[in-house]
Amino acid sequence: MRTIISLDIGGTQLRAAVYQDDKREAVTQKRIKTNANEPDTFGRLLKLIEDVMPRDGKVDAIGASCPGPVDPKTGVIMFTPNIKEWRDFPFAAKLMKSFGVPTYVDNDANLAGLAEWKFGAARGHHNVLYFTVSTGVGGGVIINDRLLQGTHGLAAELGHTTVQADGPVCGCGQRGHLESFSSGTGIERFVADQLKAGRESTLRAEKKNSARDISEAASQGDALSIEAYQIAGKYLGIGVANFLHIFNPSVVVFGGGVSQSGPLLFDAFDVSLKEHVIHPRYLEGLVIARAELGDDSGLLGARALAELKLDA
């Protein structure tokens, strides 16, 4: 019997699950608050792992999903947005020392992509692009059934690719990245700037309007809100066209809250994608799908990573 402990490290929650053999459902799982502002997040994580550990203590591997950048080769978490005490943190080595089993870690977007390939919307596809469109834009790429990790494990930051050289400032500090247009943050910034410039809208400039508020206003016919999502969709189409040219996948999977905006985002995306591909053959048979795994994508991706390593 093969037993894997899977970890999903998030800014608000730490989750752990035990998977056995090919069973799709976890045999045990538990979650606790991250409390990232309090010291010793790692101590809380160790306790959580002990709580889900099988009675016989037999575990073949630990897999972990963590917001990046993470180096999957060395198992070092270079930086993770919410847990400030983890800087160049030798995560895998510390867990291996504590539990004596091989430990693998990669960033959350890569592993969400891997999870969709193994268990979700991209099952059966060999070349997969995965996007999470929420506060930021994250990406994962699977080529010939292998997760693209890159020399330093820093692939595939699809959100931080330039789609307009002098465009708005991105969360990373650079200009004109896909994320600066198509993320929830990008949509909010566009609306805030337009309101400040005196543009008419049912939204008010004094208030902080979330991507969700803007989506609701759009569904009531607010022209500014509709435009904000159209711009997000247009640049998402430009970005995806670029990636089709590079990777020529058979499926593109979208996860994350903003990607649930439906036609508000995807009508403009479809038009833009068609306009920007250099040959219609890129779109032949191309499946555009919604992610299927929701909240469990981190746990299932970490599990898939550990399974791939054990099988290698």
For the CB of residue 178, give the shortest distance to Zn ion in the complex, in Å. 8
Tokens of 174: 């650079």
CA distance 306 to 176: 36
Pick 109 or 170: Cβ nearer Zn ion:
170
By the rule CB under 5 A, 178 interacts with Zn ion: no
Determine the Cα–Cα distance for residues 196 and 290; give it in Å rounded to an integer.
34
Residue 109 interacting with Zn ion (CB under 5 A): no
Which residue number, 160 or 276, has a Cβ lying nearer to Zn ion?
Answer: 160
- Residue 160 interacts with Zn ion (CB under 5 A): yes or no: yes
The least distance separating Zn ion from the CB of residue 255, rounded to whole angstroms, comes to 19
**In whole angstroms, how close is the CB of 256 to Zn ion at the nearest point?**
16
- Tokens coding 66: 């963590």
15 counts as binding Zn ion under rule CB under 5 A: no
Query: Does residue 172 interact with Zn ion by CB under 5 A?
Result: yes
Q: Which residue, 118 or 160, has its beta carbon nearer to Zn ion?
A: 160
Q: H or E stretch including 133?
A: strand 128-133
Residue from 15, 125, 177, 303 binding Zn ion (CB under 5 A): 177
Sequence-separated (6 or more) residues with CB below 8 Å from residue 1: 20, 21, 58
Q: If we measure between CA atoms, which residue out of 208, 211, 134, 196 comes closest to residue 171?
A: 134
Query: Smallest gap, in angstroms, from Cβ of residue 139 to Zn ion?
Result: 12
| Residue type (1 letter), 112 | A
**Residue 124 is encoded by which pair of tokens?**
């059966």
Q: Are 129 and 247 in contact (CB under 8 A)?
A: yes
- Residue 254 near residue 80, CB atoms below 8 Å: no
Stretch that binds Zn ion, among 20-28, 167-175, 274-282, 291-299 (CB under 5 A): 167-175
# residues near Zn ion by CB under 5 A? 5
Using the rule CB under 5 A, which residue among 49, 92, 133, 170 binds Zn ion? Answer: 170
Q: What minimum distance in Å lies between the beta carbon of 301 and Zn ion? A: 22
What Å distances lie between residue 187 and 134, 170, 229, 244, CA to CA?
A: 10, 12, 7, 24
| 128 lies in the site for Zn ion, by CB under 5 A | no
CB closer to Zn ion, 92 vs 137: 137
Identity of the residue, 69 or 90, whose beta carbon is nearer to Zn ion in the bound complex: 69
Q: What minimum distance in Å lies between the beta carbon of 162 and Zn ion?
A: 9
Name the one range near Zn ion by CB under 5 A: 25-33, 159-167, 263-271, 291-299.
159-167
Angle between helices 211-219 and 263-276 (to 10 degrees): 90
Cα angle 112, 272, 199 (rounded to 5 degrees) comes to 100
Quick check: 89 and 41 in contact, CB under 8 A? no
Residue with tokens 């890159």: 150
Q: How far is the CB of 176 from Zn ion (least distance, A)?
A: 9
Instruction: Report helix, strand and coil shares of the chain as percent, to nearest 5.
Output: 40, 20, 35
Residue number, 178 or 226, with CB nearest to Zn ion: 178
Specify the stretch interacting with Zn ion by CB under 5 A; choose among 133-141, 165-173, 201-209, 263-271. Answer: 165-173
Q: Under rule CB under 5 A, which residues in 249-288 are in contact with Zn ion? A: none
Binding site for Zn ion (CB under 5 A): 160, 170, 172, 174, 177
